Amino acid sequence: MQIIDAISAIMQREGIEFLSTYPTTPLIDAAAAIGIRPILCRQERVGVGIADGFTRITNGKRIGVFAMQYGPGAENAFPGVATAYSDSVPILLLPLGHQRDRAQVFPLFSSARTFASVTKSVETLNQAEQVTEVMRRAFNLLKMGRPGPVMVEIPADVALEHVDDAIVNAYRVVKPTCAAGNAQDIAAAAQVLLQARRPVIHAGQGVLYAEASDELVELAELLQLPVMTTLEGKSAFPEDHALSLGTGGAVMTGPVVHCLRQADVVFGIGCSFTKHGMATNIPSGKTIIHATNDERDLNKNYAADYPILGDAKLVLRQFIDAIKDLGPQRRVNGDTAAEVLEIKEAWMREWTAKLTSSEVPITPYRVLWEFMHTVHPRDAIITHDSGSPRDQIVPFYRATTPRSYIGWGKSHALGTGLGLIMGAKLAAPEKFCVNFMGDAAFGMTGLDFETAVRCGIPITTVVFNNSAMAIEQHALVVSHERYRTRDIGGHYADLGRAMGGVAERVEKPEEIAPAIQRARKANDDGKAVLLEFITSEETAFSLRRAL
């Protein structure tokens, strides 16, 4: 068989369900021939996002794949791959490469060289008979250790070479494994948690990938520990739980700020503790317990007093067992839930007027408020886009089940949310899948709403249209006064209809909830929906970079 057929057969054995792709590569037809559905997007970055969103919702148990042509196709995919890399998402990337006799010639683009900085691994398939070895290494890296994108570059001449069927038939599916933490390290850290006066759990997306939310809840309840999540870890701990502090990041909830300031011990589980504008900075003077499956995170930006290397699910179970073994020595913190509730209610009182405002143009906070009171979070998967939508939604939306929210931001290209939500819908067709984006983000990737229509992916895209780059008011002052540089605009509902979708333009607060209900009904009927809300230039954010 040809190499493209061999790769398709290996992907099928590994459970690959569809191939996100654009615009052309011989792998498309080879995969389609054996029943792997191609999803052709409108641009490469969105196609990578579709694979990314699919993988996130399945916790990496079902891998998203993106394939593209050499040169411009691979070049255009770079920002999507950078996002997946920064958020540790395991996706398989299969760019076509230039044929081997000219691959190193300037100015031909080399995926292998260029993508090395934003992938977990890049390997070029230079010899046809090595196809099973190369693909086995790729899936091994996708399934084990810290997640991340893995790339196999397929030179155009190699793609059409032949390989003995027996070599491919001998391929065995990669079985993942993981490691627990050192028992002595766990015991020492457990004692610290017991002796702490005001400990806080700082949970990252490693909890989601390890499917360790149940263990996280069990440990929190065992010792009455308050829990905050990172942006990428949002939904790892149910945000309607009495011990939930909510999410930290560029913006934060009141309970996160209060409890982190007061904490003497911070227990990071499944997180990287990366200092970044989209991350929560840990105040100085804290004792830090840091459990991660990647040694590069330990002592990276913060000195770890108690470093632990291991899988989040196994490590949490070790902590639970170690604490239970202490028997009478166990000490439960005071009435943490009551304290968290008091702080949360005080914080929400400050925001109730904004969230329930009847002002026109509509404030985005009112749209979010109506959404939360119209759709139960267990029935939905939502994601934000960069800038204002992210910072407005993250503190207030309560994600109650794992992977009901896709948080992202360390590498934050506008328009990423549209691809992510299409991938989420492919992974969980029973969910109401909604992405919130601003008009600037729509300008980057909005035409890929047509991909959702054409490919039968019934998502709802919410566009906050304030005809401005409102979040950039501080940066574009003189230029805006003289040249109106922040002004943008469009009639996005009209575009949505022109692309074949169901679309509405909403201008009054009382119209928000009915529009959301109609969108959900249309999604249930298999139709993609675009809701355009005419909103104000809202620039108030909850505790932005308060730590």
**Contact (CB, 8 A) for 47 and 56:** no
Residue 346 located in a structural domain: no
* Structural domain range at position 233: 183-340
Give pLDDT tens digits for 87-137: 999 999 999 999 999 888 889 999 999 999 999 999 999 999 999 999 999
pLDDT of residue 383: 98
Q: How far apart are the first and last CA of the chain?
A: 58
pLDDT of residue 489: 87
> Does one domain contain both 292 and 397?
no
Residue 176 located in a structural domain: no
Distance of CA 229 to the CA centre of its chain: 13
* C-alpha angle 14-18-21 in degrees, rounded to nearest 5: 120
Residue 544 located in a structural domain: no
Mean pLDDT of 19-32: 97
Both tokens of 256, joined, read: 């996160």
> Does one domain contain both 165 and 190?
no
Which range, of 163-172, 246-255, 333-342, 504-513, averages the lowest pLDDT? 333-342
Residue 347 located in a structural domain: no
pLDDT of residue 317: 98
Give pLDDT tens digits for 34-62: 999 999 999 999 999 999 999 999 999 99
> Does one domain contain both 162 and 189?
no
> Does one domain contain both 413 and 490?
yes
As a whole number of angstroms, the distance between CA 266 and CA 218 comes to 17
**Contact (CB, 8 A) for 13 and 173:** yes
> Does one domain contain both 106 and 29?
yes
Q: How many domains does the chain have?
A: 3
pLDDT of residue 469: 86
420 phi and psi angles, rounded to 5 deg = -60, -45
pLDDT of residue 330: 57
Domain CATH for 132: 3.40.50.970
> Does one domain contain both 208 and 132?
no
pLDDT of residue 255: 98
Domain end, chosen from 112, 135, 169, is at: 169
> Does one domain contain both 157 and 12?
yes
Longest CA span, the chain: 72
Which range, of 157-166, 342-351, 463-472, 523-532, averages the lowest pLDDT? 463-472
pLDDT of residue 151: 98
Cross-strand pairs, 465: 534
> Does one domain contain both 336 and 370?
no
Q: Within a 10 A sphere around the Cβ of 378, how many other Cβ atoms?
A: 12
Residue 425 located in a structural domain: yes
Residue 322 located in a structural domain: yes
User: With 70 as the cut, is the pLDDT of residue 284 above it?
Assistant: yes
Token pair 């520990």: residue: 225
Give pLDDT tens digits for 428-486: 999 999 999 999 999 999 999 999 999 999 999 999 999 988 888 888 999 989 999 99
Residue 322 DSSP class: H
> Does one domain contain both 99 and 191?
no
> Does one domain contain both 101 and 197?
no
**Contact (CB, 8 A) for 528 and 379:** no
> Does one domain contain both 213 and 262?
yes
Residue 189 located in a structural domain: yes
Percent above pLDDT 90 for the chain:
93
As a whole number of angstroms, the distance between CA 204 and CA 193 comes to 18
pLDDT of residue 105: 87
Q: Which of 319, 345, 340 is nearest to 244 (CA)?
A: 340
pLDDT mean across residues, the chain: 96
SS3 211: coil
pLDDT of residue 479: 94
SS3 30: helix
> Does one domain contain both 155 and 102?
yes
Both tokens of 204, joined, read: 């990252």
User: With 70 as the cut, is the pLDDT of residue 331 above it?
Assistant: no
Residue 485 located in a structural domain: yes
Domain end, chosen from 169, 199, 218, is at: 169
Domain CATH for 250: 3.40.50.1220
Domain end, chosen from 129, 147, 169, is at: 169
pLDDT of residue 328: 57
Give pLDDT tens digits for 363-409: 999 999 999 999 999 999 999 999 899 999 999 999 999 999 999 98
